[in-house]
Amino acid sequence: MEHKINELLQKLSLDEKLAMVHGAGLFRTGGVERLDIPAFYFSDGPHGVRAEFHNSKWIAVNQNDDFVSYLPCNSTLASTWDRELAYKSGYVLGEEARGRGKDMILAPGINMKRSPLCGRNFEYLTEDPYLAGEFAVQIIKGIQENDVSACVKHYAVNGQETDRLMVDTIADERTLREIYLPAFKKAISEGGSYSIMGAYNKLNGSHCCEHKALLDEILRKEWGFDGTVVSDWGAVHRTKETAEVSMDIEMSVTDNFDEYFFANPLKEKIEKGEINIAYVDEKVRNVLRMMYRLNMLGEDKENRKKGAYNTPEHREAMYRVAADGIVLLKNEDRKLPLASKIKKIAVIGKNAEVMHAYGGGSSEIKALYEICPLMGIKMYLGGNTRVCYAPGYLIPEKKQEGDVNWQQDSVSAEALAALPVPVSENDMTDTDEGKALLEQALAIAKECDEVIFIGGLNHEYDVEGNDRASMKLPYGQDKVIEALLKVKPDMTIVMIGGAPVEMPWRDRAKAIVWAYYAGMETGNALADILFGKVNPSGKLAETFPITYADTPTAKNGEFAKPGRIELKEGVFVGYRYYESKEVEVAYCFGHGLSYTEFSFSNFEVAEAENGKLAVHFTISNVGERAGAEVVQVYTGPANAGDIHPVKELKGFEKLYLEAGESRDVTIMLSKEDFAHYDCEKKAFVTEPGEYKLMVGVSVQDIRWETKLVSKGTIQ
C-alpha cells in the first residue's frame, strides 16, 4: 500500500494535493478526477447520520430520503456497560453512514465528563477513562467494519462549551496521562480508528490543531498513529503552525473554501518556500492511506461495502441499547414494575411527549421515527387502560432562530463571548398558564390509580455551544414534582436528560428511572421496563452528585469560564473525587438496580500467564426473574493519601443470568492496572507496596476486597 501511495503522490500537482486536505464543501473535501481519487464525504455523528446539507450552505437539502435510525445517545450507550452493544451501536452507525454514501462518521465522542454542566455531556460516554476506552474500541470496530472511518473526537480535553473555540485548558502531565488521554490512546491502538478530530480548545497555551506535543509526539510517535487528523469545524487558526504539525484535513463552517488556511494561504507559503512541501505530502499520504483502508482506492474498490440504512436489524439493536441502558435509580418497596392491568393511569410531564432527535447541535438527527414515552406507554397498555396525559409544566416558546445557522454562527465573536443563560429564568410555575397546568396535573393525578411523572431536560439545555448554568431542573419542575408527591406519594418518576440534575425530592420518591436520550425506541424500552417486560440492567457511567456545589469544579471554580481554565482537581474527576474525598453523592458511579437479586461467592485472585491477574468468582441470580448484573473491578493503593484516587475502575463484565442460574466468572487484570503516571520517569509506575483489589456492583457497593503486594514495576 505504501508503495502505491507514493506512486500516486508523484502524480499529484500541488493544487490537487491541497484539494485533498481541506474542505471543498461543508462536509467534503475535493477529489482528483483525473486520477480517480474520489472526494471524501463526512457526516456527523455520533447518534446517527445527520441530515443532508447543501454543499456550501448550512441549509438542509430537505429531501425525504435522509431519514435515519436515531441511536441512543452515548450516555445511554455507556450505561449498558455492554461491550457487545457498543460494537452493535457502532456497526449500525457505520452501516447507515455507508448506506448514505459517507466515508467518515464524526464519532464517537469520548471526552471525559469533568463537570455535569458541560452542554455536550450527552454526546460523551462517561467520567471514567477505562470505561470510555473500552467502549470507544468497540464502537470504532463496529463503524469501520463497514468501510467507513470513525473519527474519534474531540482530541483533547474538550470539556466545556463556554468559549469553546478559544478557551485555554491548563492541565498537568499526570492528569493528561491518567484521565484525558487513555481513552484516545486505546481508540487508536486497540480500536484502530482511521481518524481523530483535533479539538477547538487550546491545551496549555496552544490550539489543539497545532499542538506539537499532542499531535506529533504523543499521537504519531508514541501511539504510532498513521491515519488522518481532521480539524474540528473551524478549529484551525493559522497556516504555517498548523501545516507543520500532524494535522491533515482542515474543515470549517464557512463557504470560502479557497480561503481556508490549507487552501490558497498554504499554496502561497509553499510557493514562496516558507513551508516545505514535505509537510503537505505527509498529509496527502495519510489521506490516501485512509482511502485505501476504506476500499475507496485499490483493487477492492469494486467490493467496497455499500451499507444500509433504516433496517429492521438496526431498529432491533437500538431497542436493545435503550432497554439495556435505562437506569433504575431507586425502587423502594418494589414499587416497580407496575401492573399492566390497570384501569386509569396518569402520565404527567412534558418530556412524555417531547421528541429529542432534532436537537442538541451537530448530533441532531432526522429520525425515521422516535417513539416518545407517552406513545410507548400507550402502545404497551393498549386500549383497555385509560392513559391521562397532562404536561404539568410550561416550556416557554423557543426564541426565533436567526438567519444564520447556529453552526456557522457558533464561531462568531458574539457567540464566543456569550455566557450560558441561567436555567432558573425558565421557571414558569408562577405564570397563569403555569399555574393552570399544575392544577390540571394535580386533578388528573388524584383521580388515577397510578401516576408516572416524565420530566428532565431537553436540548435547550443539553446542547453544543452552551454549558448549563446550574444542575437544577428547568421550568420549575421541582415544584411540580413536590406538589404531585403530596397527592400521590407513590408516583414513579422518570427523568430524561443528558446529564445529572439535582433531585431534592429523591428521598421522598419511591421509584426513579433515568433514561438519558435513549433514541428512536425510547418509549418502547421505557414502557417495557416500567411494566416489567424488561428487567432493568443499566448502570450509571457517571456520578450523580447531590448538588452542583458538591462537585470538584464547583469547589475550584474552574469551569465554564471564558479565556482560561485550570484543571485544578487534577486526576480527581468524577467518582475518583467523591470516593477519595468522602463526599456523599445522590447516585454513585456504577449504580443501577434490577428487579432480581444477585449473590456472589468463591472470590479469589490468582496469578495467570503473562503477568496477568485472574479475578474469579461465582455469581448467582437468586431472584425470580432473568436479569443482568455488571460486575466491576476497582484497584487502588492501600494508602492512597491525597495523591492517588482510592478506587479506579480496571475491569468489568455484564453478565446475563436466568432466574436461579449460577456462573463462574473470571475477569482479567494486568499488573499495569495498579500503576500511576510518574512525571519524572515519564512512565506508568507501580510503586512497591500494598494495593487493594475490590469487586463490586457499583463503586460504593463493594462485595469483596483483598490486598496485594507489589514489588514495583515501570512500564
Binding mask 156-185 for ligand BGC (x = CB under 6 A): ------------------------------
Residues in 230-269 that interact with ligand BGC by CB under 6 A: 232-233
| Nearest one of 398, 536, 414 to 463, comparing CA atoms | 398
List the grid coordinates of 536.
432493568
Classify strands 168-170 and 202-203 as parallel, antiparallel or unpaired. Answer: parallel
Mention every residue, 6+ apart, whose C-beta is less than 8 A from residue 713.
671, 672, 675, 685, 686
Q: How far is the CB of 314 from ligand BGC (least distance, A)?
A: 21
Task: Please report, as a single letter, which amino acid is at residue 199.
Answer: A
Residues 6+ apart with CB under 8 A from 400: none
Residues ≥6 apart with Cβ < 8 Å to 457 = 473, 474, 496, 497, 498, 499, 501
Instruction: Output 44 or 629, the one with its CB closest to ligand BGC.
Output: 44
Give the shortest CB-410-to-ligand BGC separation in angstroms: 6
CB of 164 to ligand BGC, least distance (A): 8
In the complex with ligand BGC, the residue whose CB is nearer, 198 or 574, is 198
Sole binder of ligand BGC in the list 153, 283, 314, 330 (CB under 6 A): 153
Binding letters toward ligand BGC, positions 94-113, x by CB under 6 A: ------------x-------
- The number of C-alpha atoms within 13 Å of 78 and in the hemisphere containing its C-beta is 36
DSSP 8-state symbol, 326: -
Residue 362, interface with ligand BGC (CB under 6 A)?
yes
Rounded-to-integer distance, Cα 120 and Cα 111, Å = 9
Strand order in the sheet with 202-203: 206-207, 202-203, 168-170, 564-566
Nearer to ligand BGC, 233 or 634 (CB): 233
Return the axis-axis angle of helices 83-99 and 129-144, rounded to nearest 10°: 40
Q: Given strand 152-155, what is the order of strands in its sheet?
A: 152-155, 195-198, 228-231
Q: State residue 335 phi and psi, 5-degree precision.
A: -60, -40
Binding to ligand BGC (CB under 6 A): which residues in 363-422?
A: 407
We find the least distance from the C-beta atom of residue 124 to ligand BGC, in angstroms, to be 11
- For residue 413, the minimal CB distance to ligand BGC (Å) is 16
Q: Which residues contact 563 (CB under 8 A, 6 or more apart)?
A: 163, 166, 167, 168
Give min distance, CB of 42 to ligand BGC, in A.
7
Find the helix packing angle between 264-271 and 277-293, rounded to 10°: 130
The phi and psi torsions of 21 (rounded to 5 degrees) equal -115, 15
Q: Give the CA dihedral 18, 20, 25, 28, nearest 10 degrees.
A: -170
Q: Which one, 311 or 405, has the nearer CB to ligand BGC?
A: 405
Q: Scan for cell 503516571, then name that residue.
A: 677
Q: Which one, 233 or 544, has the nearer CB to ligand BGC?
A: 233
8 Å CB contact between 605 and 616? yes
Q: Is 232 a catalytic residue?
A: yes
In this structure, are residues 18 and 266 in contact, taking their beta carbons and an 8 Å threshold? yes
Q: In this complex, which beta carbon is closest to ligand BGC, that of residue 81 or of residue 233?
A: 233
- CB 60 → ligand BGC: shortest distance, Å? 13
Surface-to-core class of residue 701, CB atoms within 10 Å of its CB (0-12 exposed, 13-18 middle, 19+ buried): exposed
- In the complex with ligand BGC, the residue whose CB is nearer, 156 or 387, is 156
Nearer to ligand BGC, 154 or 315 (CB): 154
Smallest distance from ligand BGC to CB 117, Å:
17
Q: Of 51 and 372, which CB lies nearer to ligand BGC in the complex structure?
A: 51
Point out which residues pair with 149 in neighbouring strands: 104
Instruction: List the catalytic residue out of 44, 232, 478, 550.
Output: 232
Closest distance of CB 45 from ligand BGC, Å: 5
User: According to CB under 6 A, which residues from 36 to 55 bind ligand BGC?
Assistant: 44-45
Please say whether the beta carbons of 257 and 23 come within 8 A: yes
Residues that bind ligand BGC (CB under 6 A): 44-45, 106, 153, 232-233, 362, 407
Residues taking part in catalysis: 232
